Amino acid sequence: MIPGPAALVMAVVLSGLPVHSFTYRGFPPHKSGPRRRFLEVDRESPHTLIFYESPYRLDDLLADALQVYGDRDAAVAHELTKLHESVDRGKLSELLAAVRAKPPRGEYVVVIAGQGSSKEKVES
């Protein structure tokens, strides 16, 4: 038997973020204090970060990630490997606003750019 595709791999590929090096962190803690400490471990990491989250805590994860990491590029992948999959891309603040505007349902993978890997405009 061959296992099916893993949502985390599809999420990082579809995110539009760097795929050459990434860190899968799994499900963050449920409560804000422990979750922020969990996120803080990777604040300076240059690697793309991948998290799984339930629809009940997705907005909390995005809010804490915004506070810990700043307004980095990110993606929220929904129902990957299923019929109605979707991927929203943008800054953490934009994704948080979208999640708060429409209550999430289903399974989510959150992909966040590593430190220094967000696309920044260079002035000449």
Domains of the chain: 7-112 (3.30.950.10)
pLDDT tens sequence across 17-63: 999 999 999 999 999 999 999 999 999 999 999 999 999 999 999 99
pLDDT tens sequence across 71-118: 999 999 998 877 788 999 999 999 999 999 998 898 899 999 999 875
Identify whether the C-beta of residue 47 lies closer than 8 Å to the C-beta of residue 114. yes
Identify whether the C-beta of residue 88 lies closer than 8 Å to the C-beta of residue 12. no
Report CA-CA distances (Å) from 116 to 56, 66, 84, 124: 30, 15, 32, 19
What is the reported pTM?
A: 0.88
90-97: long-range pairs with CB below 8 Å, 24+: 92/62, 92/65, 92/66, 93/66, 95/62, 96/59, 96/62, 96/63, 96/66
